[in-house]
Amino acid sequence: MLHKNNQIFCYNKNICILNDKILKLYDASGRETLDISVDINTALFASNDNYLALAEQNGQEFCVISDKTYLWRDKVDGEILQININKNGYVALVTTDTTYKSIITVYDSAGKQLLRNFLSSTSVIDVTISNDNQYVAFAETDTSGTLIQSNIKILSIEKATSNPEEAIIYTKENEASKM
- What pLDDT digit, counting tens, does each position of 7-54 carry? 999 988 899 999 999 999 999 899 999 999 999 999 999 999 999 999
**Element containing residue 138 per DSSP (H, E):** strand 135-142
- 54 neighbors 62 (Cβ within 8 angstroms): yes
| Residue 146 dihedral angles phi and psi, to the nearest 5° | -75, -25
Q: For residue 57, give Cα distances in angstroms to 25, 105, 147, 150.
A: 20, 16, 29, 24
Q: 47 forms bridges with which residues in the sheet?
A: 52
Rounded distance, CA 89 to CA 72, Å? 11
Whether 1 shows a pLDDT value over 50: the answer reads no
Q: Which residues contact 115 (CB under 8 A, 6 or more apart)?
A: 104, 105, 106, 136, 155, 157, 160, 161, 164, 167
What's the N-to-C CA distance of the chain in angstroms?
Answer: 46
Rounded to whole angstroms, how far apart are CA atoms 74 and 72? 7
Higher pLDDT, 15 or 5: 15
Mean pLDDT score across all residues of the chain: 92
Chain centre distance of CA 135: 15
- What would the pLDDT profile of 130-164 be if each residue is shown by its tens digit? 999 999 999 999 888 778 889 999 999 999 988 88
Give the residue, 12 or 55, on which the prediction is more confident.
55
